[in-house]
Amino acid sequence: MSMTTSTRILVTGGAGFLGSHLCERLLAAGYEVICVDNFFSGSKSNIVHLLSNPYFEMLRHDVTFPLYVEVDQIYNLACPASPRHYQYDPVQTTKTSVHGAINMLGLAKRTGARILQASTSEVYGDPREHPQRETYWGHVNPIGIRACYDEGKRCAETLFFDYHRQNRVDIRVARIFNTYGPRMAPSDGRVVSNFIIQALKGEDLTIHGDGSQTRSFCYVDDLIDGLVRLMANRTVGPGPVNLGNPGEFTIRELADHVIAKTGSSSRIVHRPMPEDDPVRRRPDIALARERLGWEPTIPLATGLDRTIAYYRDVLGQTPDVPAPVFDV
């Protein structure tokens, strides 16, 4: 579709961390944007700077209920993404993934809109394949405390592909790996925001387990670029497509980098591992490279600098030490 203001795009979860960055990106490209959020984990502060834009519209709405609007594209990002949030009300989390997918797919079917599902690397569970390719079916506990999110997202993928096969809905499915950056809620419990907030406050950095578990951290600007490319691409097919940074770091390495970059005197303390927490996580992004011409460009060191600066502002702090430079 051409990038004109006649193209109207719906972003569910648009006031969340990823959603707000996506809304910003789409407006800058000249689209009309309808942002939908129920503000369970999203925040008005993430989108307040967009409200004066005449091509931006905000709707308070829960996607577990049908929505009747006229749109050309739909990005379905609505769902709490941090364990602290999605485990707070696991039944509602499952409803958001499943009923939300049904309602948005129904809207896409009626309007003929292309629809993208923001799925997750959690569909791979605690993987037995490393790195994880899109062909891997996963290793997920269907009755554990993370299942509301993991299995909810897996069911949403099922619905997307069944609507595609049965009703010819034009779908895209992105499997998003750990993403970080400005506008992550300080209290959402994810590891990057946790470590930075703890370090800036001089509190102990809490590592679950011995810190040898790994994650691959993708800066938000890179991730949003991948989503937009996937939505626009006509040859990649429905997906799924992994979007993430293949650079792999232990949680202990991340903690050390955050302490050094913030100049913090924080200590590292260890807590028990949460139930079903994945031991290793790293995306195989060969498909995204080949079909989308996409790969991350922002290294962890640069992304951490930007994210730390954001949280310093949130906490009203000013840096008192020069940030060390890491080649990571």
Residue 117 near residue 157, CB atoms below 8 Å: yes
The H or E element spanning position 179 is: strand 179-180
Total Cβ atoms within 10 A of residue 54: 7
> Does residue 322 have a cis bond before it (omega within 30 degrees)?
no
Burial label for 28, CB within 10 Å (0-12, 13-18, 19+), is: exposed
Tell which phi-psi region holds residue 96, choosing left (phi > 0), alpha (psi between -120 and 50) or beta.
Answer: alpha
In sequence order, the β-bridge partners of residue 84 are none
Can you tell me the distance from the alpha carbon of 247 to that of 217, in angstroms, rounded to the nearest whole number?
A: 7
Is residue 136 annotated as a catalytic residue, yes or no? no
* CA proximity to 201, closest of 314, 300, 306, 301: 314
**If DSSP codes are grouped into helix, strand and coil, which group holds residue 290?**
helix
Can you tell me the distance from the alpha carbon of 170 to that of 161, in angstroms, rounded to the nearest whole number?
A: 10
The bridge status of strand 241-243 relative to strand 218-219 is unpaired
Q: Degrees (nearest 5) of the Cα angle 156, 162, 168?
A: 120
What is the token pair recorded at 65? Answer: 């209920």
* CA proximity to 16, closest of 155, 185, 147: 185
Instruction: Name the catalytic one among 75, 149, 180, 311.
Output: 149
Catalytic residue positions, numbered: 149
